Amino acid sequence: AQSVAQPEDQVNVAEGNPLTVKCTYSVSGNPYLFWYVQYPNRGLQFLLKYITGDNLVKGSYGFEAEFNKSQTSFQLKKPSALVSDSALYFCAVRDIDRGSTLGRLYFGRGTQLTVWP
């Protein structure tokens, strides 16, 4: 079965410090992995994805994510956090080896990131 775990409900970091948001996944085959961000009362915005190749992928707004197959993890990172990065972050996985449900994503429960000035 496909699933995603985000072990931290909340992450707090000071502006200018590096941030990390954790995610682990479970799929029966090979994964596509995604990070989304949600600002209050808004829909989800796509940040970045891992399909294949380099384990470090770069996305929007200076975010990047590191894929680790042996640890089945996909951690979101940013070298220097901004107050405006404060939002709800979701990790998602798609099993590329499944049949008829190729299109669906499985989401984690989200991690609330707060960056304080």
Interface pick for other proteins out of 2, 67, 81, 110 (rule CB under 8 A): 110
Q: Which two tokens stand for residue 76?
A: 């979101």
Burial status of residue 77 (CB atoms within 10 A of its CB: 0-12, 13-18, 19 or more) = middle
The residues in 34-63 that bind other proteins, with binding defined as CB under 8 A, are 34, 36, 41-46, 49, 51
Cβ partners under 8 Å of residue 80, min gap 6: 16, 17, 18, 62
Q: Which is nearer to other proteins, 37 or 115 (CB)?
A: 37
Q: Which is nearer to other proteins, 108 or 115 (CB)?
A: 108
Count of residues of this chain found to bind other proteins when the rule CB under 8 A is applied? 23
DSSP helix/strand/coil, 19: strand
DSSP helix/strand/coil, 77: strand
Contact positions toward other proteins, by CB under 8 A? 32, 34, 36, 41-46, 49, 51, 90, 94, 96, 100-101, 103-105, 107-110
